[in-house]
Structure formats: C-alpha cells, structure tokens
A and B are shown apart, each in its own frame.
Chain A
Amino acid sequence: MDLASSLAAGLNAAATPANLLCLFAGCLLGMLAGLLPGVRPATAVAMLTPLAYVLPPGGLLILLAAIAYGAAYGRAHAALVNDPGGASRADSFQLARQGRAGVAIGVASLAIFIGAAVGTLTLAVLAAPLAELSFQFGPTEYFSLMVLGLAGAAVLARGSLLKALAMTVLGLLLGVFAAASRARPIFGLQAPADGALFVVLAVGLYGLGTIPHFLALPARPREALPVANGRSLLPGGKDFRHVLPPLLRGSLLGCALGLLPGGGRLLGAYAAWALEKSTALRAGEVPFGKGNSRGVAAPAAADGAGSQTMFVPLLALGVPTSAVAALLMGALVIGHVPVGPQMMSGSPQLFWGLIASMWIGNVMLGAMSLPPLAPLWTRLHGAPYRLLLPVLVLLCSLGVYLVHRDAAEVALAAGVAVCACLFAQLGCEPMPLLLGFVLGPAMEESLRGAMSLGGGDWGTFATRPISAGLLSAALLLVVFVAMPAVKLRREDAFAPE
C-alpha cells in the first residue's frame, strides 16, 4: 500500500465523530497542558491514563497523542507573558513587550504548524521502513535496542548520569517484579492483572508528585502585557519571506533532534535558536533575544517538529524515549493497543488514523491560536496556581480511584508521590524510572529468548552484528557523556529550560 492510499484510509478512520471528539479534547487539553502554570504534558497524560480502561484503542491513541503535540502551541502562548528562563523563548516575550504580541503569536503558531506538518510527514515516511527493519530483529537485537533506548534516555536526562542509570535499573526491577507477581504473589503482594499499577505509578510520579516540586520553585517574573488583539496577526508577505528560511531550518533541526531520546525536543528548540543566532543580522534587524521574529520562528518550528518525531521510536520500534512516550505506551498497553512494529503490521488503520488525526489536530490547534481565542489563552496562563492545585489533586485522585474503586490504590499513588519528591530532593529524575518500568517486562522476555537461543552464552549479544552495533552505540553514548568536558557542556545545554 502506498503512502497516499494509506493516508486516505487513515483519514477515514480518524474522521468518525467519536474520534474527532477525542481529537478535539486532546488538542484542548494539550493547549492547556502547555500553558497552565505547573502543568506539563506529562502531567496531563499521566492524569488521563485511567481513560485507557474506557476509551476504544483508536480514540485513546488519538487523544493522548494530541496532548503531547498540542502542548507546543500552549508553550508558544505562555512565552508571550512569561519571562522565560530559556533563551529560545526570549524573542516572543520581548516582541509582546513591545506591544507586538499579535505578530509573535502569529509567527509562532505558523512556525509550529509548518514544523508539525514536516514532523508528521517524517513520521509517516520513516515509520513503515523502520518497522519493517525491526521485524528482522530477533530477541537478541530487540534486547540490545532497548538497552540503547534506555541508555540514550539516561544520558539525556537532567542531572547526574549515575543516578539516571540507577533510576533506570530501579524502574526495570519494579516493572519485572510487578509482572512476576501477577503469576505468583511475592510475599503475599500481587499487582492487579489489568496493569493498574502503572496508573498508580504514573499519577504518583507525574501527577501528584510534581505539585510540591512546582510549589517550591521561585515565582517567575510575570508582566501584565497587552494581549494579542487580533489585528496584524499573520505576518505580511515581506515578513513571511523573512521568517520562512529560519522556519524551515528549525523544522528540519527539530525533526532530527526530536528522534533522539529524552530531551530531544527541548534540545531542538534550543539548537534552532542558537543556529539562527549564529547567522548574520540584516541591516536594521533587531538583535536576537530582543524581539527578532526569526528568533521566534526557528525554535517554535523545531518544537512543533520535534513534538511529532518523538513518536517515531515509540510507534515504529516500540521503544519509548521520553516520559510522555513512556506514559503513552503504558496507557496503550492497558488499552490493549499494540505498540511498535505490531501496530504497523497488525492494525495499520490505528497508525494511519493517528497520522491523519495529527494533521487535523494541528489545523484545530492553529485555529485555536488565532484571534477570537488567543487572548483567552494568555489570560489562562495567569491562573493562580493556588486555585489550580486542588483541582489537579482532585483529578489525579479521582482517576486512580475510578479504576477499581479502591481506596488503597489512591493511597498508594500518594505514597509514590512522596517517594518521587524525596528522590527529587536527592537529585534523581523520575523519567528513567518510568521508562524502565514500562520496558522491564518486554526486556526480560527478550533476554530470556536471546539467552535460550544463544545456549546460555552472554557472548551472543556481542557476536551477532546488529546487536553488537546497538550495544556499542549505547556504551559509546554513556562513556562519551561521562567524559568531564562533555559533562559540563551537558549541564549548560539543560540549564536554560
């Protein structure tokens, strides 16, 4: 089946009323997740993981994915009124400060839209060949691939590499024990058979667990600025020609970096801005960081593109590489949605439906970003966290409670949140733990298969060429990042976000 007919079939699958409703809900929630204070896309996806028990597979996939990519638009709105720590957003803020919020949000939305289109195309083109390739993988190669994915995520996680690796192993352990306890209770403890432990962990780590952390952050300076008034929202012909090259450069850079594990998306926005900054200014052009529209377009395009291509490793290979992807994968597993190459071969309508929904969703999000609604988003960004917090706690608890109507599971989620905060105090990020938890059972399975094929010889991982290549790539990554010179640069790259 060629691309065009696959897409047509996908459009058919995505355009049912139920799926469009899911898509709209996802886009709206994504927008809010990007702009509400103290809410991240991972928070929103984690809070909605209980939906996996009620929604059909297609709707679930479309809704949760829309939250992940829709947040890019929310971030663009937030950048208008919030003095960002990150240099890559400074131009939006400065433009808004000069009373040109309309231009800033117009350029940013257009850039995200085009970036997302390029990213979605990349996803559509790359996924099928990659899935095809991974079908030639045996358990040995698959195990090594997961090692590479986990190593990449640990390398790109914030903070100490050793701690990230240890959190990964801890996550793997929890995942493997949870899976094993379903067959036979461990010390009388048994994980629920329907995967509810994942919901508890997700809500605890990324829902409840992030709240105290956000409260402890110093309040960012926020200015009451004139919000976009709807006039001169879209860049004129000359402006458009001016921002088009940086926009395309940003899209391509974002596409490439979005494929990387972990912080790829953030890295993309930062790299795109840095790339623009390194180019020469035209005569009379505003310097970067002072309200340059090129400095708005490039990182926004990279953000939009990276928000789409981060789905490639998850959908084509079944290896999540970021917190959002891991949350998505966990929810999809609960909802009996096949993830990875099985999705492409077994239920292609799900994959192409998702691709089609991404294009429709970006149109919805682009429309939401424009005049009648634009001022609403900037105003919502100023919502006091004091009022938002109890609502978040309620939604988190309600979601966990409704899965089995079991008070103990809600209490367990609260306990996970406490642990998450203690770990955060020790400088340990939750992302590698979640990735490990999600991949643990699959990793054990493929390890068992690989060792049984290799007759119990660990050398089998080194003698099979593909597996050896993947493992040496993982080793190189870890050694490279552990080098003192890179260690310092790495801290710099994460500092602005």
Chain B
Amino acid sequence: MKIKNQRDFFSGLVFMGAGAAAAWIAPTLRIGTAARMGPGYFPLALGIGLAVLGGVLAFNSLVFETEDGGAVEPWSARSLLCVAAASALFGVMMGGLPRFGLPPLGWVPAVYATTLLASLAAEGFRVKQALLLATACAFAGWLVLVQLLGIAVPLWPVMAAR
C-alpha cells in the first residue's frame, strides 16, 4: 500500500490519535446520559468524531492520487527551534527554576539572551546588530515597564541585589 498524500496521511494519524486519547480520557469524567449529560459526554462524542474525521483523511490519502504526492515540504527547523527556545529561555531567566536552585536572573540578562537567540532564527545574523537591538529593547522595557507603568520587574539577578 502506497501513501498517495503524505500531508493528509500524517494529519489523519494525528487527528485519530488525538480523538482516541480524548475518548479514553472522557470516561474518567462522568459521562451521564443524553438527557442528563455529565462533563464527559460532549468530549466523548467529540473524540469519536475527531477519530472518524482523521480516519477518513488517512483513508482518502491512501486511495486518491495527488499530483505531487502531498509531500511535506522541506523546511528549516532552525528558525522554529530558535524562536521557541528563545521564548522559553526568557521565561526561565525571568522566573528562575527554584527546583534546580536557579534564581531569577532579571530583565536585562533575559533580554540579551532572548534577543541573541531569537536573532539566530533569521538569515544574516550579525552580533553587533543583535547586541545593539538587545540594548535598545532592555532600555525601552525598563522605561515602559518600570518607569511608566510601575510594574515591579527585577532588572538584575536577584542574588546580586542582596
């Protein structure tokens, strides 16, 4: 059996999986009857519906011919990883990881780290430009957040302030 539309096949699988998971989780809530629905009733119906939709998608992708085989286009994972990692890094640096003994590092270091990492997502990275941008962002953030709006945001690592 040959997959005739890659995109449809894989999205069909994802939807089938998600639907099955929902239909499996739903009974842990109370299902009830049609006249007196519990919190599990609607999710169960939706889960089954989603699994069916996914099944149809996957079935079609095995039956109907497409011109290009519906191939998943090649793409650069780098930009996605840089953007996602930069965002998560910002959260970790601002909030710290108390469980691992990492204190909040403050606004200024977080902005520099995030800006540098996010800059790597686009073509043509230049260190000088990114550092300049980070400086501008850190200053603008301090001006707007702390001075203008009066939101208490630690600027530097909390240990250093002690």
Interface residue tally of chain B, by bracket? 35 or more
A414 within 8 A of B: yes
In the assembly, what is the distance between CA of A24 and CA of B47, in Å?
A: 44
Cβ of B14 within 8 Å of any chain A Cβ, yes or no, is yes
Q: Which residue of A180, A421, A425 is within 8 Å of B29 (Cβ)?
A: A180
**B79 contacts A394, CB within 8 Å?**
no
Within 8 Å of chain B (Cβ to Cβ): is A170?
A: yes
User: For residue B54, which residues in chain A have a CB less than 8 angstroms away from its CB?
Assistant: 166
Q: Chain B contacts of A180 at CB under 8 A? A: 29, 39, 43
Given contacts A162-B56, A385-B122, A390-B119, are A411 and B83 in contact (CB under 8 A)? no
Q: Given A215-B121, A396-B87, answer yes or no on A418-B80 (Cβ-Cβ < 8 Å).
A: yes
Quick check: is B161 within 8 A (CB to CB) of the other chain? no
B143 at the interface (CB under 8 A from A): no
Determine whether the beta carbon of A451 is less than 8 Å from that of B119.
Answer: no
Encode B10-50 as 1/0 by CB contact (under 8 A) with A: 11001100110010010011000111110101110011011
> A377 an interface residue at 8 Å Cβ cutoff?
no
Find the residue from B47, B85, B87 having the highest chain A CB count within 10 A: B87
Q: Are A400 and B29 in contact (CB under 8 A)?
A: no
**Cβ of B151 under 8 Å from chain A:** yes
B122 touches A393 (CB 8 A): no
Which of A84-92, A112-120, A181-189, A254-262 forms part of the interface with chain B?
A181-189
Given the interface pairs A169-B46, A173-B46, the reply to whether A448 lies near B83 with Cβ below 8 Å is no
Are the C-beta atoms of B87 and A215 separated by less than 8 Å? no
A452 interface residue, CB < 8 Å from B?
yes
Task: Tell whether, in the assembled complex, residue B91 and residue A407 are in contact, meaning their CB atoms are under 8 Å apart.
Answer: yes
Shortest beta-carbon distance from A390 to chain B in Å: 4
Size of the A side of the interface (Cβ < 8 Å), in residues, is 64
Contacts of A402 in B (CB 8 A): 151
Q: Are B80 and A408 in contact (CB under 8 A)?
A: no
B35 touches A166 (CB 8 A): no
CA distance A386 to B134 in the complex (A): 13
Interface assignment of B53: CB less than 8 Å from any CB of chain A: yes
Complex CA distance for A402 and B87, rounded to whole angstroms: 13
Q: Which residues of B contact A451 (CB under 8 A)?
A: 34-35, 37
Chain B residues whose C-beta falls within 8 Å of the C-beta of A447 in the assembled complex = 37, 42
The SS class assigned to the B binding surface is helix
Residues from chain B with a CB closer than 8 A to the CB of A401 are 90-91, 94-95
Q: Does A25 contact B (CB under 8 A)?
A: no
Q: Does A160 contact B (CB under 8 A)?
A: yes
Beta-carbon nearest neighbor of A410 in chain B: B91
- Are A410 and B114 closer than 8 Å at their CB atoms? no
Cross-chain contact A162 with B130 (CB below 8 angstroms): no
Binding site for B on A (CB under 8 A): 160, 162-163, 165-166, 169-170, 172-173, 176-177, 180, 183-184, 186-187, 208, 211-212, 215-216, 385-387, 389-391, 393-394, 396-398, 400-402, 405-411, 413-415, 417-418, 421, 423, 425-428, 443-444, 447-448, 451-452, 454-458
Q: What are 20 A-B pairs at a CB distance below 8 A?
A: A162-B56, A163-B11, A163-B57, A166-B11, A173-B47, A173-B50, A211-B83, A212-B121, A386-B122, A387-B133, A389-B122, A393-B87, A394-B90, A397-B90, A410-B94, A411-B88, A451-B34, A454-B35, A456-B35, A456-B36
CB-CB nearest 8 A-B residue pairs: A410-B91, A456-B35, A407-B95, A456-B34, A407-B91, A397-B90, A390-B118, A414-B84
Contact surface of B with A, Cβ cutoff 8 Å: 7-8, 10-11, 14-15, 18-19, 22, 25, 28-29, 33-37, 39, 41-43, 46-47, 49-50, 53-54, 56-57, 60, 72-73, 75-76, 79-80, 83-88, 90-92, 94-97, 111, 114-115, 118-119, 121-125, 129-130, 133-134, 137, 141, 151
Additional 8 contacts, C-beta under 8 A, given A162-B53, A170-B50, A212-B75: A211-B79, A211-B121, A215-B79, A215-B122, A386-B125, A390-B86, A414-B85, A448-B41
